[in-house]
Amino acid sequence: MEISTVIGIVMGLISIFVGMILKGAPLSAMNNPAAFLIIIGGTVSCLFIAFRMDELKAVPKIVKLTFNKPPAHDKGELLNLFVELSQIARREGILALESRAQEIEDPFFRSGLGMVIDGMDPDFVGDVLDAELVTMQQRHAVGRTILQQAGTYAPTLGVLGAVVGLIAALGHLDDINALGHAIAAAFIATILGIFTAYVLYLPLANKLKLISESEVAEKRMIIEGILSLQAGDSPTAIEAKLMVFIPQSQRAALKKE
């Protein structure tokens, strides 16, 4: 589980509520169904207008990734695996990797290695894997854009909600107490708009970007390893090629192993 997402949301909620208390703002003011309807309902309606239905259906899965990111290969283990595969290929031939390929759970890795074992052209293998990587990046970009757009709509809808609340407040000009409460309630929509945008939507979009970049880097390492296996590179050469994908701080420990 990506605990940092949970920590961030909890701290965000605590900050806003404790901040209200310290400022003397009553928490009961948050009991404003109209503000929630305008901000949450308005943001959702904007997303329905801006994106296709098949794209919006993926939103729950996209958001889930920020709480429970997909399993990733340890790059050190990935490097050692490719070195091991290259040693087997040099001793017994590339076909000897077929049994090992079946043990690999990652579909991208297994598919690429399978094409190499089947003797397909290196350019074809590289093109197929690159195309699959580009498709994955485009899919990730759509999900990220949905949250980014929600982050741009929410604050503006907060202003809209405040204007609606102020219009309603003008109906209480004859009662100063009612007018004060109505004005306070009007700005709840602004709080909700800013909070949902800058504490939820935009940070989640940024986390999706980081998760995507990490997955892309891993896939590029796999592509490089697969093409090196196909080219018949030595284990030492493969290790040198793949070491560039390992953070500098981890390289010394891997070399000692």
DSSP label at residue 2: -
Buried b (16+ CB within 10 A) or exposed e, 5-35: beebbeeeeeebeeeeeeeebeeeebebeeb
Q: Name the residue range of residue 147's domain.
A: 3-73+126-256
**170 domain residue, yes or no:** yes
**78 domain residue, yes or no:** no
**173 domain residue, yes or no:** yes
* pTM score, whole prediction: 0.86
Number of domains in the chain: 1
| Total count of residues recorded for the chain | 257
**151 domain residue, yes or no:** yes
**120 domain residue, yes or no:** no
pLDDT reported for residue 256:
60
**113 domain residue, yes or no:** no
**249 domain residue, yes or no:** yes
Question: How far apart, in whole angstroms, are the C-alpha atoms of residue 225 and residue 83?
Answer: 9
Closest among 207, 219, 210 to 67, alpha carbons compared: 207
SS3 assignment, position 25: coil
What are the tens digits of pLDDT across the range 92-146? 888 888 888 888 888 999 999 999 998 899 899 999 999 999 999 999 999 999 9
Question: How far apart, in whole angstroms, are the C-alpha atoms of residue 135 and residue 42?
Answer: 31
Question: How far apart, in whole angstroms, are the C-alpha atoms of residue 100 and residue 144?
Answer: 35
**82 domain residue, yes or no:** no
Q: Where are the alpha helices (DSSP H) in 29-121?
A: 33-36, 42-50, 53-56, 59-67, 75-92, 98-101, 107-117
- In the chain, count H helices and then E strands: 14, 0
pLDDT reported for residue 207:
94
What are the tens digits of pLDDT across the range 177-197? 778 778 888 889 999 999 999
Encoded tokens for 22: 């310290």
Please report which helix (H) or strand (E) contains residue 188, including its range.
helix 188-195
**Sign of the C-alpha dihedral computed for residues 62, 68, 69 and 70 taken in this order:** negative
pLDDT reported for residue 182:
80
Residue numbers of the chain with a pLDDT score lower than 70: 254-257
